[in-house]
Homo-oligomer: A and B are copies of this chain.
Amino acid sequence: MQFEKSFSKDADSLRSSPIRAFAALINDPKIISFAGGAPSPETFPAANLAELARRVIAEEKNVALQYGPTRGLARLRECVANISESRGIRSSADEVMITSGSQQALDLIARALLDPGDVVLVELPTYIGGSAAFFARRAELAGVAQDDDGIVPESLDEVATRHRGAGRRVKLLYTIPNFQNPSGRLMSPARRRAVIELARKHDFAIIEDDPYGELVFDSAADTMPMKAGEESGHVIYLSSFSKVLAPGLRCGWMIADPILLRRVEMAKESADLCSGMLDQAIVAAYCASGELPQQIGRVRDFYRARRSVLLDALEQRFGSRARWTNARGGLFTFVTLPDGTDAEAMLPKAIEAGVAYIPGASFFVDGSGQNTMRLTFAKETDERMRDGVARLARLFFS
């Protein structure tokens, strides 16, 4: 059978992440890798999780090994409501849904809200997994300018106005206000307020994706979610245990309007019936143990130190020949190379030189960003990061 002739229109608009295509490369120990975006296994509290896994299976097989509710394990939804409250978001467990990582939330929201041709506003640059979920619905992605304070409201207003004026339905804004992937930027409180205002003005929903908010290195950084505000009815809040515990346990969550949540739950039922119950039982037990705040502290310390090494090396080797974002939290800094540099074209040479990064152009839906690259400080040791930056400097500046 010739399946290539049978694909759906949606299937023909699927896009695979170039980052996942680099996976083999990222995991080659001979290459110093600033590519990839996975958290460091050194941060995983493996001993604790191993014991909890044993315990929840031995003591609660009816829960941990059985099918469970589509919306998620009730006790984990309670934990999530408590965590959210610590971030300023008042929500009951009824407004929480557990998803198989935040990626599933993006996918389900896209299915619930998007018809082909609907417009989704995304940051320039934006997370590729977000774009992929919207492209899979044949949405049109419209880029909105970003600066070091986050989304530029004038750009957001202009882009929304223009598309609405052309008769298009502007359904969603997708944003990662805290230490964005890929840019590492933190959106300022004033910008967040302005973005909410514009959502109300143009009547689009905001997906506020917040996987990195807890990975804050600077106590002065204000990471308060938009969902914590008074006027947050437009905001769909996503977060996850992937960066503070472990991503192999596929536990993300979504907090949203109950009517939307119910529809997303129906979509999830058809997508996978329920998320992994063992993962949920382990994470709930971990939260119940009271360890999470200390774990988050350890993870912060770990990445804070790594980040300093990378930014210091950039300062020393790149100096004024390039710009990079300050990364007050998260896992990434985003580097702007001199005009005319093509980071994608240079990648094979970088790999030859034993170092890898993610070319930034992949993150821009408007075709720009050729002279940018994303670097993560999650993967390599201090020494290898210093070595890697020296190699990149030789490559780009000599």
Q: Which residues of A contact B (CB under 8 A)?
A: 1, 3-4, 6-11, 14-17, 20, 23, 38-39, 41, 44, 46-47, 49-51, 53-55, 57-58, 61-70, 100-101, 103-104, 107, 111-115, 118, 129, 132-133, 135-137, 171, 203, 205, 233-234, 242, 246-250, 257, 259-260, 263, 266-267, 269-279, 282
Are B68 and A270 neighbours in the complex by a CB distance under 8 Å?
Answer: no
Smallest Cβ distance from A46 to chain B, in angstroms?
A: 4
Interchain CA distance A242-B276 in the complex, whole Å = 11
| A273-B103 in contact given A3-B263, A136-B267, A247-B66 (Cβ < 8 Å) | yes
Are B234 and A1 neighbours in the complex by a CB distance under 8 Å?
Answer: yes
Instruction: Please give, as numbers and ranges, the residues of chain B lying within 8 Å of A274 by CB-CB distance.
Output: 250
Are A270 and B132 neighbours in the complex by a CB distance under 8 Å?
Answer: yes
Smallest Cβ distance from A228 to chain B, in angstroms?
A: 17
In addition to A3-B257, A54-B54, 20 A-B residue pairs with Cβ atoms within 8 Å of each other are A3-B263, A8-B112, A8-B113, A8-B118, A14-B267, A16-B269, A20-B70, A46-B61, A53-B54, A64-B248, A66-B248, A68-B248, A100-B100, A100-B275, A101-B273, A135-B270, A248-B277, A250-B274, A250-B275, A276-B278
Smallest Cβ distance from A145 to chain B, in angstroms?
A: 24
| A7-B250 in contact given A62-B41, A66-B41, A271-B271 (Cβ < 8 Å) | no
| A23-B248 in contact given A50-B54, A61-B44 (Cβ < 8 Å) | no
A9, A53, A69, A171: which has the most chain B beta carbons within 10 Å?
Answer: A53
Are A272 and B101 neighbours in the complex by a CB distance under 8 Å?
Answer: yes
Smallest Cβ distance from A197 to chain B, in angstroms?
A: 14
Are A132 and B58 neighbours in the complex by a CB distance under 8 Å?
Answer: no
Minimal Cβ-Cβ distance residue in B for A233: B1
Are B275 and A205 neighbours in the complex by a CB distance under 8 Å?
Answer: no
Are B107 and A23 neighbours in the complex by a CB distance under 8 Å?
Answer: no
A8, A10, A20, A279: which has the most chain B beta carbons within 10 Å?
Answer: A8
Instruction: Please give, as numbers and ranges, the residues of chain B lying within 8 Å of A69 by CB-CB distance.
Output: 23
Are A11 and B263 neighbours in the complex by a CB distance under 8 Å?
Answer: yes
Instruction: Please give, as numbers and ranges, the residues of chain B lying within 8 Å of A203 by CB-CB distance.
Output: 1
Instruction: Please give, as numbers and ranges, the residues of chain B lying within 8 Å of A282 by CB-CB distance.
Output: 278
A58, A66, A113, A248: which has the most chain B beta carbons within 10 Å?
Answer: A248
| A38-B67 in contact given A257-B3, A270-B129, A273-B103 (Cβ < 8 Å) | yes
Interchain CA distance A65-B9 in the complex, whole Å = 35
22 example contacts (A-B, Cβ-Cβ < 8 A) are as follows A3-B113, A3-B205, A3-B259, A3-B260, A7-B112, A11-B263, A14-B263, A14-B267, A38-B66, A39-B66, A46-B58, A47-B58, A50-B57, A100-B272, A100-B275, A100-B276, A103-B270, A103-B272, A107-B270, A136-B270, A248-B276, A250-B275
